[in-house]
Structure 1
């Protein structure tokens, strides 16, 4: 799925926003309009880091159709797993917003349709490179379980390093809506396959037929089955043979085989690439910088000079901290629980996966909300602020390496300067040990125990004193002052391959955790039929961990990027979600799979690890 190039309805590459165009879409500030088509309008925007993106805003009429939204959400989830060299990746989307939208990387190049209209048919070498790149793109798209269904010249962009296939999967979502039977046409008749025109099931071979039509159009400048009314073109596609008299000889076998009426007779994508190699082995898979004609390359340069990002309003003023550089507060302000709003991410909470941990550094850039969170902004990609200390929760000792040095024990004054030098040297040499290390060095020869970063006890660093008890409460034999105490680490309970169906919930305090009916009754974790995971219990919250971030007890305790709900279309296999319940339990959800498209129910397969009474607010229980 993509969304960058629509059928343009103006002569300029970057059209100014009209009075009826929005200025922002879910936090993305719009810089220009790129085009419009049957599905909606396409706009140019930017990420906080300055990367250009294309925002496709779906027409409101489609957003009113519940079945369209359901299929669109499925296609978005699949499209976000497509990572091919010749596709424009989907980087953000919200199928459940008031008006659905999606964002893809912006490709600075004309569509094949625009290039042929402006400059005529392309050279054979260019067409071979084009077809080979499109075949690779379809291989990745089909691998994600998607059939494009609407492969046409306007959905193929010509970039400096090869083609980009966009808008894969959108036609499937549109097929479900009643609008397609009331004057709204999705798909272009000139580039449909016979089975598609006849209303029969489509497969990957359907895209191969369209690929042959696109190749013929690129090489000749006209559709293989001619032009005219849609019904006439579709009749010829089903019942007649294409006119390939103008197709160059080196492309004839490739195009003819792709346009076979029977899907079983069409070549595979691997065979298509071999046909391209046979026709021009010297350049098919070695793309020169000048693979496009000069006139088309000039259009790429024009599109590279995109309008500057619109100026964002100045960030809120944050009073500078009076603390010296390298400050390390030991008790940060406790985060407030976000409001429980089923269909939105609170504006005060950064959306999952966006922005750094909370910091007192002023924000200098704005990240768009990555979900249903309205126009709120979240700081991202700003300058690095003071080091962010680990979160200290009530009832837990301060993490080592942060905070002030403990007061000097009585009787140490006679060692004054020497003791201070020893303490400073120890802090410099063992910075990670922080205040706890300084305390041990300054003590008498009878060493006590020190609390490690994970809260477990370790033997004293000097003397013949005792060893830790393993509970964090042990003291040295000669020590008269007890060491810091901590409850034993909670035990983890693991539950695998849970199929959580939409409309059901999980209760983390149950001895046997299994989905139970209900999605809205102060539950610990529910899969709402609106398409999101929900933490409804009073004081409960969710945190979506970053891709590649390893979840665990300490990671979930330290995270404060709270949300009350996370849309399932933001998830992919392997992503993890921390769950904190209002009853004091902590859980880690690992996403494994999604229900197949033909399943009669919508569900999420997940693994769940639970640490009972281990949530930060329950650390002293």
Structure 2
């Protein structure tokens, strides 16, 4: 499917997602309240400053943090970013974690969706809205470039939409990631559909690079599709470098402005101040750029309202094993000293005394001595009856007592209802004495870690690259339509950009194992060299967190024909 085509059938996911078991609860002194999202660079969480202002905390993936050059560049870029004070940028407030192996940075929280989410959910935006966006983003670039920083990864996902205008995020961080050795092992910094020709060819990066990206972004929000199309990264980058953009879906009133930004030569592109002036002088906006209440369509304002309703209650802590309750201590009756043991046959068990009163006769041989009882009483007072019972059983064995002999036992003393068999030691400890974490009957939970199967083990076949797979509905559909999320190619499987993937090493693979694998080691691509027949991979939708677990049944690289066995799981039911 086109990587950035609008989606209308998928229900809106929760804005503030609960923290997962492997999420931290605090980062650099910032208590985390919810998960806002995740991407190739790391995870983003909601927190608050000590004074109560909401902030976004981004924790970088450990894979990047292990690289020394990344840490050096990260510190440098964050330092530069903190000097950027544009009104259309998300202010970088704090950073740290370089020494602990988990770098993080804190920015102001923007209560609004990304442009990518807006176009996916609601389609292309009106011309006036697009012009206001161009003016705001160009002003953000002007502020970024003023401190000698180039964004390098300006794309719809890195522009948030607020009630008073756009906010550009993640500026300069791509340069730090670009320095790591991971970029040569499957990680790609930058999005091909929004890269400039010089970026694609490894040429010098200048502020004009960001202007080209702004041109691609403008074409996308105005026309609903990226100007250099869709497909494998190599094909998109080839078109970026060698072909003219397809602006057929862009309204005529915007085509000239977009075309200037998409000039192949950097020197032929307008500067951010020139873009601001061009947007302001456009007749549609009437000579002024003002972000009033009507600058966005009403349906997008609803999205902003959802994100402004912030959670103020910290997340529920992870369940911890309950400590065994301390039972009421029951005094143990004092008994006279036992007579000296004599080597004689063991007598038959005597009838148990009536519980109403105690007989003053000596305890039968094999009973518990006064020394033992004294120890039990002390232990019971200190640790509770459960500990005393356990110690008493051990000492009773040490004293040579037989388990079948009569005599007052702890259980008999504690519960008169067991008069007939109160001296029998239970074969298993009572619930209060169970070790922490143990449970006789496991608590019932949602299947597969909170995922509910929509369908499972459904085998589907695509005869060629002309047909792809509609994962949510479990069917085959023509490639390039909004219905397909996985399309076969001669090189592998092309996954929609709204999905993250993980290639498993075992079969079967559960939905929860897939989610953990994506968070730990996401796959950069799904090439046939990593997907032999029988191999299992999975994909997770970033929006609704649904998961597809896919096994490659067979494939033919020549015709791109492939047969897959698919299971689809909805998160949270």
1:166 to 165, 169, 173: 169
Distance in 1, Cα, partners of 2:11 & 2:299: 21
| Secondary structure class of the residue paired with 1:118 | helix
Distance in 2, Cα, partners of 1:9 & 1:237: 33
Q: Size of the alignment, in residue pairs?
A: 306
Distance in 2, Cα, partners of 1:284 & 1:303: 28
Distance in 2, Cα, partners of 1:307 & 1:224: 38
Name the residue aligned to 1:232: 235
Please say if 1:200 is aligned against 2:200.
no
Runs of 4+ residues deviating >4 angstroms = none
State whether residues 131 and 285 of structure 2, in contact with CA within 8 Å, keep that contact through their aligned partners in structure 1. Answer: no
Change (3 A) 1:264 1:11: same
Q: Deviations over 1:546-585 (max 9, x none)?
A: xxxxxxxxxxxxxxxxxxxxxxxxxxxxxxxxxxxxxxxx
Name the residue aligned to 2:73: 71
Distance in 2, Cα, partners of 1:95 & 1:30: 15
Change (3 A) 1:9 1:135: farther
Q: Which fold has the larger relative contact order, with Cα–Cα distance below 8 Å and residues 6 or more apart in sequence?
A: 2
Distance in 1, Cα, partners of 2:107 & 2:288: 27
Distance in 1, Cα, partners of 2:154 & 2:287: 24
Distance in 2, Cα, partners of 1:289 & 1:235: 41
Shift in Å, 1:245: 1.3
Distance in 2, Cα, partners of 1:233 & 1:198: 13
1:303 to 297, 303, 307: 307
Change (3 A) 1:130 1:65: same
Q: Deviations over 1:237-278 (max 9, x none)?
A: 000000011111111111000000000000111111121122
Distance in 1, Cα, partners of 2:231 & 2:73: 31
Q: Deviations over 1:63-104 (max 9, x none)?
A: 100000000100000000000110000000015232000000
1:187-226 matches, within 5 Å, as 187-226=190-229
Shift in Å, 1:309: 4.3
Distance in 2, Cα, partners of 1:83 & 1:312: 36
Distance in 1, Cα, partners of 2:296 & 2:47: 27
Distance in 1, Cα, partners of 2:19 & 2:176: 27
Name the residue aligned to 1:387: none
Distance in 2, Cα, partners of 1:95 & 1:27: 11
Shift in Å, 1:286: 1.8
Shift in Å, 1:284: 4.3
| Secondary structure class of the residue paired with 2:98 | coil
Shift in Å, 1:119: 0.3
Name the residue aligned to 1:91: 93
State whether residues 129 and 284 of structure 1, in contact with CA within 8 Å, keep that contact through their aligned partners in structure 2. Answer: no
State whether residues 224 and 249 of structure 2, in contact with CA within 8 Å, keep that contact through their aligned partners in structure 1. Answer: no
Name the residue aligned to 1:22: 24
Distance in 2, Cα, partners of 1:130 & 1:172: 24
Name the residue aligned to 1:12: 14
State whether residues 217 and 224 of structure 1, in contact with CA within 8 Å, keep that contact through their aligned partners in structure 2. Answer: yes
Unaligned ranges ≥5, structure 1: 1-7, 314-621
2:182 to 179, 182, 199: 179
Shift in Å, 1:136: 0.2
Name the residue aligned to 1:146: 149
Is the radius of gyration larger for structure 1 or structure 2? 2
Distance in 2, Cα, partners of 1:168 & 1:218: 20
| Secondary structure class of the residue paired with 1:38 | coil
Distance in 1, Cα, partners of 2:11 & 2:235: 25
State whether residues 129 and 283 of structure 1, in contact with CA within 8 Å, keep that contact through their aligned partners in structure 2. Answer: no
Distance in 1, Cα, partners of 2:276 & 2:90: 20
Name the residue aligned to 2:43: 41
1:58 to 57, 60, 63: 60
Shift in Å, 1:311: 8.0
Distance in 2, Cα, partners of 1:228 & 1:69: 33
1:266 to 269, 273, 280: 269
1:81-160 matches, within 5 Å, as 81-94=83-96, 96-98=98-100, 99-160=102-163
Using structure 2 for the length normalisation, give the TM-score.
0.52
Distance in 2, Cα, partners of 1:32 & 1:286: 33
Name the residue aligned to 1:414: none
Change (3 A) 1:84 1:312: farther
State whether residues 73 and 95 of structure 1, in contact with CA within 8 Å, keep that contact through their aligned partners in structure 2. Answer: no
Distance in 2, Cα, partners of 1:221 & 1:262: 25
Please say if 1:276 is aligned against 2:282.
no
State whether residues 10 and 35 of structure 1, in contact with CA within 8 Å, keep that contact through their aligned partners in structure 2. Answer: no
Name the residue aligned to 1:562: none
Q: Deviations over 1:394-415 (max 9, x none)?
A: xxxxxxxxxxxxxxxxxxxxxx
State whether residues 220 and 227 of structure 2, in contact with CA within 8 Å, keep that contact through their aligned partners in structure 1. Answer: yes
| Secondary structure class of the residue paired with 1:84 | coil
Name the residue aligned to 1:564: none
Please say if 1:253 is aligned against 2:256.
yes
1:212-611 matches, within 5 Å, as 212-279=215-282, 280-282=284-286, 284-310=288-314
Question: Which is richer in helix?
Answer: 2
Change (3 A) 1:311 1:239: closer
State whether residues 216 and 227 of structure 2, in contact with CA within 8 Å, keep that contact through their aligned partners in structure 1. Answer: yes
Distance in 2, Cα, partners of 1:103 & 1:312: 23
